[in-house]
Structure formats: C-alpha cells, structure tokens
Amino acid sequence: MTVTQETTTQKTTKLSIPHTHAQGCAIAGILEQVAPEQPTQGRRIALILHGAMGQVIKHKDYLFQKRLAVKLPLDSFRFDFRGNHETPGTWHFGRFQDDVLDLEVVIDYLTKEYGYVIDMLVGHSRGSVVAVLWMCKHRDGLAKNVRRYVNVAGRYRMEKVYDDLEQNQMQLKSQGYVLRKAVVARKPFETKIYREDYDQFASVDTSIVWDQFPAHIDVLTLHGLKDAVVPPYDAFIYARIYGARSPGTHTLRYVEEADHNFTGMPEEVVEPILEWLSQQERGELKTGVWHTGVKDIYRGTKAQGRGQTSML
C-alpha cells in the first residue's frame, strides 16, 4: 500500500514494504523526496533509524526523526522496526539481529524498486547500533556507497545493560521477568523482559567497529551529557575508534543539557546534522571535537538557549 502527499517542493509517501523473512510483517515507513519530479534511479537516500534503548519500544516519528527528514537536502526514509508502532510482529529486547534483518529488507526494497543508493544512516540509540552492525556486515557490498553516518546516543558497552537488571533484581526474582509499561504513539504498550533477554542484549559485539567499520565513512556523534540511559563516556569510546580511521573523519559533539532523547531540544540534533552535511560538501570536515578552534560562540544558556555544547 502506498499513500502519497505532495507539496510544491516535497513529496511524502507512506510505504508498506513486504518482509521477505517474516510472514505477514510489512514494514511501515515514510519516504520523503526533495525532488519528486526527478527519477530515483541512482539518487542518494538517507535512512533514519529509531531506537529503543530506554527499555521500551519507539517509532519512526517519536523524537527528531520527522523534523530531520523534512529538512534534509536529500531524500530520506524512516520506518518502524518490527513490533514497533505500525509494523506488526513481536518486539524483542535483545534480538538485534531481527532489526538488522529489517534494515536489510528495507535497503533491498529501496535499491531494487526505486534504484536508490544508500548514502547516509542516522541512528538513535538502538538504531545507531543496528546501523553499525549493518555497515560492518556489508562493508564490501552496499555499505561501500555510504558516505556518512550520524550516531545519536549510541551505546558501545552493551554489557552496561546489566546495570538496569541490577536495579530490577527484586522484580526479576519475584516474578521471573521485568515488566515494562509505556505509551507509544498514544497507545499503551507492555512487555516482559527476562534474564535471557538481558544476556542477548549484552552479547551484541560492538567491538567489531575497530576492524570492520568502513574507513571511508564520515561520522558525527551526538550525545547528551545528562543521558541516564547510555553513559556519555560511550561517545568518547566511539570517538577513539572512528577518529583513528582514514580518510573518514569523526566529529564529537556533546550537548550539556540533553538527556538520552534530547527531550525538548530536537534542534540540537537536527541543526548540527545539517551544518555537518554542509561542511562535508565543502570538504571541511576534520576529526575532532565539534567547532574545534571556533572562539566565542557559546556564552551561556541565557545567550544561546537551552542546548549548550560542552567543549572537551
């Protein structure tokens, strides 16, 4: 099923992509086209991946995703992973391989049906880890065409999920699982997380990025210093990893007042990404901390607003 909405400059199309590995599971997503009158064969596209690291499911529009999609200077596609919002199926806390497979299905569809070239991946939290796993897995294939990757609050130390388990030991011992309740897209959601789910989560091997992440991809890492879900130190670890590559660059940006979801400050995700893209197009990217060497641009919260960048 395809539902299309057009404006004078942009076209928004809701797609339902048949899942080739999960019967009855069509992946729901939104295709944004900046030049709908032009053919899509050979055009570059950005993929925007939502997260779920706050221990509950999310969806394709729950934070900055839609705002970013309509402002990007290239086509984009954002979608719900299986068991999230409009995509049917069962959501699993620890089975990252399901999300990677969903991403593969989406990419296969966009490249074959539309002729798109995957240019950029933007991942938040769990979505960042999924993006990394896909790029490492396909480094000699479709990931060769990827030029840029944005890591928003991505976790490196997967074993830190056991901190959450420790906080819920009483519940786990008394009933055998941790019960999670949330409201997702105004709908109540409830799931049970078992010990084996934590073990699956912790077993995801992000260390592969040291040797398998494509060396040519420019990376922007955004992380809030008030992130209580994924420690800000994980962004520093990624900076060490990605900063050692060549010719790809890595830019690290901490936001002083931001939490894991950049609550109330989506512009602190969207605007830096747009500026970073412009810097890349001009060939100005260098590995380091955001705005290294730029003087007197941060003068405190009263002058600059809530989202302040911490210069390390």
In the DSSP assignment, the letter for residue 114 is I
Quote the pLDDT of residue 8: 55
What confidence tier does 299 reach under pLDDT thresholds 50, 70, 90? low
**Residue pLDDT, tens place only, 125-160:** 999 999 999 999 999 999 999 999 999 999 999 999
| Contact between residue 100 and residue 200 where contact means Cβ atoms under 8 Å apart | no
Q: Which two tokens stand for residue 133?
A: 């796993």
pLDDT at residue 119 is higher than 80: yes
Instruction: Give Cβ neighbours of residue 264 (< 8 Å, ≥ 6 apart).
Output: 306
- Residue 53 clears pLDDT 70, i.e. is over it: no
Give one DSSP letter per residue of 281-294, joined into a string: HTT---SEETTTT-
Closest CA to 301 of 255, 261, 266, 267: 255
For the segment 158-177, what is each residue's pLDDT rounded down to a tens digit?
999 999 888 888 888 899 89
- For residue 194, count other CB atoms closer than 10 A to its CB: 14
pLDDT of residue 249: 98
Q: What is the pLDDT of residue 55?
A: 46
Alpha carbons 146 and 215: distance in angstroms, whole number: 11
Q: What's the mean pLDDT in 186-191?
A: 72
186 confidence band (pLDDT: 50, 70, 90): low
Range 50-76 average pLDDT: 82
* Nearby residues of 43 by Cβ (< 8 Å), 6 or more positions away: 74, 75, 114, 115, 116, 117
Q: What is the mean pLDDT of the chain?
A: 89
- The whole-number pLDDT of residue 120 equals 98
DSSP string for 120-177: EEEEETHHHHHHHHHHHHTTTTGGGG--EEEEES--S-GGGGHHHHHHTHHHHHHHSS
Beta strands 75-79 and 117-124, pairing class: unpaired
Q: Taking 80 as the threshold, does the pLDDT of residue 295 lie above it? A: yes
At residue 188, the 3 state secondary structure works out as strand
Give the relative orientation of helices 96-109 and 126-137 as an angle to the nearest 10 degrees: 60
